[in-house]
């Protein structure tokens, strides 16, 4: 019996160590970025676009990147959501047992893990063929395709968990398939859908490789879909790459801003999900 107890205590200790390592890792990441970046964080960082000698240490901020990222990720998530909902609508409303549904599920599942750089390269190739320049439009398209498998799978999973009796109830009241999915299933799945959207938005806004070739970079805020656009991850990357310490510090500060946005999304998603749960049937 002692041997069994010893083994259990040993592994329990390992488990606590591991958990501590993971939690500690998270805290260390936050701590270092915030500590290093806080000195350079200022209001002008948030509210101004880079002025003349910004990359040499002079004034300005990264408003171009902040707005740019919101445009790109926002647009991509919106379109991605629309497409995903359409796909899920088909799979759950019209083609439940059809081969197209299972094929699409498989296809998107396979796409799910594809690295964002592959999307970037792929779209870039298309852009070359169309003789298009890097722009907001292509940035959005790239991130949309990148987010599509993520959103679709997440919503699909939530829809799968909607109890069959809810669908039956809706149909027995004479609803069409569209109405059933749109009004009943989506309501039930709403918390999950919201989480999926915010998760995807977070991934979209934080990803660099997808926009590296396709969105370009600029110091101004784009005024049309065909202007190039700056994104936060690239802003951080480029500022880090300069030899000037003040600019590098600004990179850390930009990192804080990006972290903060992600944190905000996470907290919002949790709160909003909790609020939406009241209509959900268990």
Partner 1 sequence: MNRQIEDALAHKLSLLATIFGSLIVFWMAFVLLQKSTPILSTHPLSELLLSSSWHPLLGEFGFYPFIAGTLWVTGLAMILAVPVCLLTAIYLAEYAPKKVRAIIKPLVDLLAGIPSVVYGLWGVLFIVPLIRFYVAPSLGVDTTGYSVLAGGVVLAIMVSPIIISVSEEVFRTVPLETIEASYALGATKWETVKHVVIRKTLPGLIAAIILGFSRAFGETLAVLMVVGNVAKAPSSLFDPAYPLPALIANNYGEMMSIPLYDSALLLAALILLVVVVFFNILARMVLVRLERRSM
**Phi, psi angle pair for 115, to nearest 5°:** -65, 145
Q: Does 192 bind partner 1 (CB under 8 A)?
A: no
Chain centroid to CA 212: 16
Among 70, 74, 90, 187, binds partner 1 (CB under 8 A): 90
Record the tokens describing residue 141, joined without a space: 């398209």
Contact 215, 228 (CB under 8 A): yes
User: Cα dihedral sign for 81, 83, 88, 90?
Assistant: positive
State the binding string over 195-234 for partner 1 (x if CB under 8 A, else -).
Answer: ----x--xx-xxxxx--xx------------------xx-
Scanning residues 101 to 160, which ones bind partner 1 (CB under 8 A)? Answer: 101, 103-104, 107-119, 121-122, 124-126, 145, 148, 152
Show the tokens assigned to 122.
């792929």
Q: Which of 38, 56, 100, 281 binds partner 1 (CB under 8 A)?
A: 100
Q: How far is the CB of 223 from partner 1 (least distance, A)?
A: 25
Alpha-carbon dihedral angle through residues 74, 80, 83, 86, given to the nearest 10 degrees: -80
Contacting residue, 46, 78, 79, 240, with partner 1 by CB under 8 A = 240
Which residues ranging from 21 to 40 are in contact with partner 1 (CB under 8 A)?
A: 21-23, 25-26, 28-29, 32-33, 36
**Is 252 among the residues that bind partner 1 (CB under 8 A)?**
yes
Q: Which is nearer to partner 1, 188 or 249 (CB)?
A: 249
Query: How far apart are CB 188 and partner 1 at their closest, in Å?
Result: 18
Residue 134 · residue 218 · CB < 8 Å = no
What is the C-alpha separation between 19 and 257, in angstroms, rounded?
Answer: 27
């Amino acid at each position: 019996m002692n041997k069994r107890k010893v083994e259990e205590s040993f592994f329990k200790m390992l488990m606590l160590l591991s958990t501590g390592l993971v939690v500690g890792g998270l805290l260390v990441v936050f701590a270092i970025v915030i500590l290093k970046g806080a000195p350079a964080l200022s209001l002008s960082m948030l509210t101004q676009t880079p002025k003349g000698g910004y990359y040499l240490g002079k004034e300005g901020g990264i408003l171009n990147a902040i707005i740019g990222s919101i445009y790109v990720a926002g647009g991509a998530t919106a379109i991605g959501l629309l497409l995903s909902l359409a796909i899920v609508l088909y799979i759950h409303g019209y083609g439940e047992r059809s081969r197209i549904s299972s094929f699409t599920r498989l296809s998107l599942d396979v796409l799910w893990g594809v690295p964002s750089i592959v999307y970037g390269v792929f779209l870039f190739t298309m852009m070359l063929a169309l003789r298009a320049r890097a722009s907001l439009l292509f940035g959005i398209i790239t991130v949309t395709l990148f987010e599509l498998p993520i959103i679709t799978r997440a919503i699909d999973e939530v829809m799968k968990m909607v109890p069959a009796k809810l669908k039956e109830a809706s149909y027995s009241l004479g609803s069409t398939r569209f109405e059933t999915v749109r009004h009943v299933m989506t309501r039930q799945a709403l918390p999950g859908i919201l989480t999926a959207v915010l998760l995807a938005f977070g991934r979209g806004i934080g990803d660099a490789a997808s926009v590296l070739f396709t969105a370009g970079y600029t110091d101004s805020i784009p005024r049309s879909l065909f202007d190039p656009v700056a994104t936060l991850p690239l802003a951080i990357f480029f500022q880090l790459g300069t030899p000037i310490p003040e600019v590098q510090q600004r990179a850390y500060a930009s990192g804080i801003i990006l972290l903060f946005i992600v944190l905000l999304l996470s907290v919002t998603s949790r709160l909003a999900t909790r609020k939406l749960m009241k209509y959900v049937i268990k």
